[in-house]
A = this chain, B = another copy of it.
Amino acid sequence: MAVYTEVGDEEVAAFVAEYAVGRVVACKGIAEGIENTNYLLVTETATYILTLYERRVREEELPFFISLMEHLAAHGIPCPTPLHGRDGQALRRLNERPAAMVTFLHGMSPRRLTPEHCTAVGEALARLHLAGANFPLRRHNGLSVDSWRPLLQASARHEQEVAAELVDELAADMGYLESGWPAHLPEGVIHADLFPDNVFFQGGNLSGIIDFYFACTDFLAYDLAVCMNAWCFESDGSFNVTKARRLAGAYQSVRPLTAAEWQAFPLLAHGAAMRFLLTRLYDWLHTPRTALVTPKNPVEYLQKMRFHRRVRSPGEYGLDVDRAA
């Protein structure tokens, strides 16, 4: 949520001149996206988002993300569409960083989450999975189960005492997740970070999905598990099964889960909570106090993980067993 790289008026004008979008009318740094610098760029013809990719995004992976947004947009998913310059390229450089212009999506992220939001997100996620089915590129999920133990160890080595207690608590979860993690489930392109910040609504309808920079190839049901953690818990830590039923029901109305996915869902939800707990814990312990971004409190995800530990059946997530094809 910060502007890491300031760009000058002349640099922006030269950059935009590579595209057939008219001249720059205004360019404002916006507080959107955690990893990259984003500008809202108004030209004579339309409004766009200009993204400068900062160090946390690996440059060799950018073609995956750019191609994915193009593919999904072409298949009707309301996501940013990269613009191609007069030279045919969608990726070029600005201020010594890779940069791209994408279309501007209308709508706002919801703050107070309702069951209606969950219905819309569930349906959109399933449509995204179907649209991604014939996407030819692959990207390994660098934040899946095999990354968790090293992340936990990196936090365990930290001097803060809070970490030591937490590391002890997580040891049993870690073993359980590693030994039980499925080897085979339906896989494909997943968003992997579909939090409310990354979904826009307008007039009650889902109008946009943004921030594909964690997207990768992984189990589709894991993406639903990430969503359930992000959309179906209340701020007091309680699980809202009404929202979960809506999310899962809407998802399954478009793409029914297989029996294996249904069976594995509690483990996937538990793992999804571990993934966000670990990255938040790591950022919490390692972000310098002078950073532009305030790290998110990991405790929220500890509460979610404690919930998942106690779950005994996929039904507790509102997953309809009859629909599990």
Interface residues of A (CB under 8 A from B): 1-3, 8-12, 23-32, 40, 42, 47, 104-112, 200-203, 289-290, 292
Contact = CB atoms under 8 A, between A and B. Distances in A.
A183 B295 CA distance: 52
18 contacts: A8-B111, A8-B112, A9-B108, A9-B110, A9-B201, A10-B111, A23-B203, A24-B108, A25-B202, A27-B108, A28-B30, A28-B31, A29-B30, A29-B31, A30-B30, A30-B40, A42-B106, A289-B289
Contacts of A32: 28-29
A42 B31 contact: no
A112 B289 CA distance: 32
Given A1-B3, A8-B112, 10 more contacts: A1-B29, A9-B110, A23-B203, A26-B104, A27-B108, A28-B32, A30-B31, A30-B40, A31-B31, A292-B292
A213 B125 CA distance: 45
Contacts of A24: 108
Contacts of A42: 47, 106
Contacts of A289: 289-290
A23 B106 CA distance: 11
A70 B162 CA distance: 54
Nearest to A208: B26
Contacts of A105: 26
Contacts of A292: 292
B30 A106 contact: no
Given A106-B25, A290-B289, A290-B290, A31 B8 contact: no
B202 A108 contact: no
A42 B108 CA distance: 11
A10 B203 CA distance: 11
B28 A40 contact: yes
A23 to B, nearest CB: 7
Contacts of A28: 28, 30-32, 40
A165 B251 CA distance: 67
Contacts of A40: 28, 30, 40
Nearest to A106: B25
Contacts of A106: 25-26, 42
A9 B201 CA distance: 9
A223 B234 CA distance: 53
A109 B9 contact: yes
A203 B42 CA distance: 14
Contact of A111 (B9, B25, B29, B108): B9
A27 B200 CA distance: 11
